[in-house]
């Protein structure tokens, strides 16, 4: 088989990136835009020794799980990978992914896993769930000024002013901004030359508060015609912004936000709440993007932590303190640690905003702060440790210290079940048992899935 050769294959599985997988003549094919159960005609794009990549030429037999993607640019845009799979099948795919990782990478015995594993929590309405959107602004091939998304793995912007994962207001906000850009001849940023002004538009909405915030990322120190932009929003009348900011990013890199933030009007932040905890969110803050499912996820974490008001809790990788503040209401004391200083500033402010005085925050790497703290406080009893690490999972030094601290319960919130499984294997070899696993679908239409796991001490 060589490049461009065509062949028929049945899709039996899907990769963790959402590519359909088919086997033929001892060869494994990865094929974009196909779903489990399809029988397809494909054309090889890259051929290796035992596997290859191919593109879909035509679906010959349609899978019962295949649906018409709700978004017209689903195939070209890099954001969603599973739009052509029905939502129940997406949930099955994600649940199986978590299960299989724990089985294979985690080496958890089937009887233990079956007892612990709970049904995935999906969404009732799996679209329009994101509270944050970032649209690059660019000129298309014909010179038109557009907002949109990067095509998968590229830097070319595809026009899309109404992403179906985002809120309805995004479209109107972009219309107002694009009109302002065109009216005042403001040039979009041009990646290759590094010239032009407007790079990105970031929009955030508090789902509970209804508050909207816009932040323009620009390639210079001052936003031109800013009074006119404020007036454009006021005259439009249908979008009530709480806050308008701009962010300065003059770097020639693909990092979206720079460090410097300038407030144009409003307080510079919006407020939102999850459950009974209020949060202040600035354009630079990390904040969970799916508030409905985040409440489910934190609910599971809180349930697994089983707090009665007397416990001391550590929350590692605490971000702006969301889980810490959630747990502090039912614990004696909560310690949080997070590597980004600004996030810890937000966490402290959020504690104050909620009148919470039993949460204490440290800046630094969990694997450094926790051992240092433990060395100084060897006598303090820690009942529960919660971790919510980035995709690479927990550093072994952090796990080591947790094991020495010997909390009764360890709640592991994970955005990558492969590293969760690796860490579960380590913890099971060091006196902990996996008791509950609940996947939560925070990112419908994409391959990502969150998992909340409970491990308890066995000796
Ligand atoms: N629990 C928070 C954030 C989870 S995201 C929430 O639910 O909102 C993971 C966080 O871990 C990020 O904020 C990231 O900055 C932080 N982080 C990454 N590496 C870290 C490390 N080595 N030590 C502490 N925090 C780290």
> Which of 249, 274, 299 lies at the terminal end of a domain, its last residue?
274
Q: What is the pLDDT of residue 164?
A: 96
Tell whether 1 is covered by a domain.
Answer: no
Residue nearest to atom 23 of ligand 1 (CA): 365
pLDDT confidence band for 156 (50 / 70 / 90): confident
CB of 296 sitting under 6 A from ligand 1: no
Q: Does ligand 1 have an atom closer than 6 angstroms to the CB of 289?
A: no
Residues 295, 351 share a domain:
yes
Mean pLDDT for all residues in the chain: 95
The predicted structure's pLDDT at residue 411:
98
Asked if 10 and 38 count as a contact pair (C-beta separation under 8 A), the reply is yes
Q: Which positions are annotated as active-site residues?
A: 415
Compute CA distances 120 → 35, 127, 270, whole Å.
Answer: 20, 17, 31
The pLDDT of residue 398 is above 80 = yes
- Here the CATH number for the domain that contains residue 44 is 2.40.50.140
| 32/140 same-domain check | no
Residues 6+ apart with CB under 8 A from 44: 1, 2, 3, 4, 5, 6, 7, 29, 52, 53, 54
Residue 390 CB less than 6 A away from ligand 1: yes
CA 390 to ligand 1: nearest atom: 9
* pLDDT tens column, 419-445: 999 999 999 999 999 999 999 999 999
**CB 312 near ligand 1, within 6 Å:** no
pLDDT confidence of 76, banded at 50, 70, 90? confident
pLDDT of amino acid 150: 85
User: Which residue lies with its CA nearest to atom 11 of ligand 1?
Assistant: 317
What is the per-residue pLDDT for 421?
A: 98
CATH of the domain at 301: 3.40.50.150
Ligand 1 mean position to 385 CA, how many Å?
Answer: 14
Indicate if the pLDDT at residue 459 is higher than 80: no
- The confidence band for 154, taking pLDDT boundaries of 50, 70 and 90, is confident
Is-contact 115 432, C-beta < 8 A?
no
Do 326 and 398 lie in one domain? The reply is: yes
Q: By the 8 A CB rule, do 412 and 387 touch? A: yes
| 188 and 294 inside one domain | no
The answer, yes or no, to whether residue 86 has pLDDT greater than 90, is yes
Helices (H) and strands (E) counted in the chain, each on its own, are 10, 21
Q: Which atom of ligand 1 is nearest to the CA of 288?
A: 8
Residue 80 lies in a domain: no
DSSP single-letter state for residue 34: -
Residues 366 and 300 in one domain: yes
Strands 270-274 and 333-338: unpaired
What residues make up the domain containing 22? 6-66
pLDDT of amino acid 342:
87
The neighbouring-strand residues paired with 212 are 205, 241
**Is the C-beta atom of 346 inside 6 A of ligand 1?**
no
Identify whether residues 107 and 213 lie together within a single domain.
no
Regarding whether 136 and 119 lie in a shared domain, the answer is no
Structural domain includes residue 196:
yes
Q: Are 170 and 162 in contact (CB under 8 A)?
A: yes
In a domain, 244, yes or no: yes
Name the nearest CA neighbour of 369 among 314, 449, 446.
314
Q: Ligand 1 in contact with 245 (CB < 6 A)?
A: no
**Is residue 352 located within the same domain as residue 386?**
yes
7: pLDDT strictly greater than 90 = yes
Residue 329 lies in a domain: yes
Asked which of 250, 274, 298 is the last residue of a domain, the reply is: 274
Residue 150 C-alpha to ligand 1 middle, in angstroms? 26
Task: Dump pLDDT digits (tens) for 318-351.
Answer: 999 999 999 999 999 999 999 999 899 999 999 9
In the reported structure, the alpha carbon of residue 321 is separated from the centroid of ligand 1 by a whole-number distance in angstroms of 10
Is residue 393 lining ligand 1, measured as CB closer than 6 Å?
no
Distance CA 224, CA 10 (A): 56
Quote the ligand 1 centre to 347 CA distance (angstroms): 12
Are 20 and 140 found together in one domain? no
Residue 44's nearest CA partner among 52, 36, 35, 34 is: 52
275, 319, 423: residue to mutate for ligand 1 pocket, most atoms within 8 A of CB:
319
| Phi, psi for residue 388 in degrees, rounded to 5 | -140, 65
- Give yes or no for residue 394 CB within 6 A of ligand 1: no
Query: Which residue's alpha carbon is at the smallest distance from atom 22 of ligand 1?
Result: 365
Ligand 1 pocket check for 388: Cβ under 6 Å: yes
CATH number for 217: 2.40.50.1070
Distance, in Å, from the CA atom of 104 to the CA atom of 93, rounded to the nearest integer, reads: 16
Are both 373 and 254 inside the same structural domain? no
Centre of ligand 1 from the C-alpha of residue 159, in Å: 33
Q: Looking at the DSSP assignment, which residues form a beta bridge with residue 245?
A: 215, 263
pLDDT tens digits, one per residue of 18-47: 999 999 989 999 999 999 999 999 999 999
Question: Residue 281: inside a domain, yes or no?
Answer: no
Q: Are residues 255 and 319 in the same domain?
A: no
In this predicted structure, the answer to whether residue 101 has a pLDDT above a threshold of 80 is yes
Q: From the CB of 340, is ligand 1 less than 6 Å away? A: yes
| 394 C-alpha to ligand 1 centroid (Å) | 10
Residue 81 within a domain: no
The answer to whether residue 224 is domain-embedded is: yes
Query: How many angstroms separate the CA atoms of 106 and 109, rounded?
Result: 9
Last residue of a domain, one of 21, 50, 66: 66
The two three-digit tokens of residue 244, written as one number:
């308008």
Q: How many domains is the chain partitioned into structurally?
A: 3
Establish how many alpha carbons lie within 13 A of residue 360's alpha carbon, considering only the half-sphere containing its beta carbon.
Answer: 10
Q: Which of 371, 390, 398, 442 to mutate to test the pocket of ligand 1 (most atoms within 8 A of CB)?
A: 390
pLDDT higher than threshold 90 for residue 356: yes
State whether 27 and 173 are in the same domain. no
Which atom of ligand 1 lies at the shortest distance from residue 343's CA? 13
Q: Write out the H or E segment, with its range, that includes residue 352.
A: helix 341-353
């Amino acid at each position: 088989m060589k490049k461009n050769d065509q062949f028929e294959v049945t899709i039996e599985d899907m990769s963790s990136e959402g590519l359909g997988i088919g086997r033929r003549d001892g060869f494994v094919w990865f094929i974009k835009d196909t779903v489990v159960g399809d029988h397809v005609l494909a054309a090889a794009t890259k051929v290796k020794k035992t596997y290859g990549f191919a593109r879909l030429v035509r679906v010959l037999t349609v899978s019962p799980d295949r649906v018409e993607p709700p978004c017209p640019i689903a195939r070209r845009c890099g954001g969603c990978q599973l739009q052509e799979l029905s939502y129940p099948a997406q949930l099955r795919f994600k649940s199986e992914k978590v299960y299989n990782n724990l089985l294979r990478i985690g080496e958890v015995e089937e009887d233990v896993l079956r007892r612990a594993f709970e049904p995935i929590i999906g969404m009732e309405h799996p679209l329009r769930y994101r509270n944050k959107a970032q649209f690059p602004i660019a000129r298309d091939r014909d010179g038109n000024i557009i907002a949109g998304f990067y095509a998968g793995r590229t830097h070319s912007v595809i026009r899309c002013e109404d992403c179906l994962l985002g809120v309805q207001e995004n479209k109107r906000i972009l219309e107002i901004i694009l009109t302002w850009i065109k009216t005042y001849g403001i040039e979009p940023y041009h990646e290759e030359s590094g010239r032009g002004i407007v790079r990105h538009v970031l929009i955030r909405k508090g789902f509970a508060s209804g508050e909207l915030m816009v932040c323009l990322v620009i390639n210079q120190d001052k936003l031109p015609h800013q009074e006119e932009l404020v007036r454009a929003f006021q005259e439009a009348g249908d979008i009530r912004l709480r806050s308008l900011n701009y962010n300065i990013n003059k770097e020639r890199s693909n990092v979206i936000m720079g460090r410097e933030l300038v407030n144009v009007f409003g307080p510079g932040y919006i407020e939102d709440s999850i459950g009974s905890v209020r949060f202040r969110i600035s354009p630079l803050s990390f904040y969970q993007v799916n508030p409905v499912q985040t409440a489910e996820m934190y609910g599971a974490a809180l349930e697994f932590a089983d707090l009665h008001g007397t416990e001391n809790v550590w929350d590692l990788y605490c971000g702006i303190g969301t889980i810490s503040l959630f747990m502090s209401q039912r614990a004696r004391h909560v310690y949080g640690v997070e590597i980004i200083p600004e996030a810890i500033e937000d966490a402290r402010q959020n504690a104050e905003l909620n009148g919470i005085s039993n949460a204490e925050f440290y800046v630094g790497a969990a694997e450094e702060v926790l051992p240092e703290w433990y060395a100084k406080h060897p006598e303090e009893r820690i009942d529960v440790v919660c971790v919510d690490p980035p995709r690479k999972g927990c550093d072994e030094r952090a796990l080591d210290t947790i094991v020495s601290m010997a909390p009764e319960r360890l709640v592991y919130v994970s955005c990558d079940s492969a590293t969760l499984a690796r860490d579960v294997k380590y913890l099971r070899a060091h006196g902990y048992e996996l008791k509950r696993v609940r996947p939560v679908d925070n990112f419908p239409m994409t391959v990502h899935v969150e998992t909340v796991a409970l491990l308890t001490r066995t000796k």
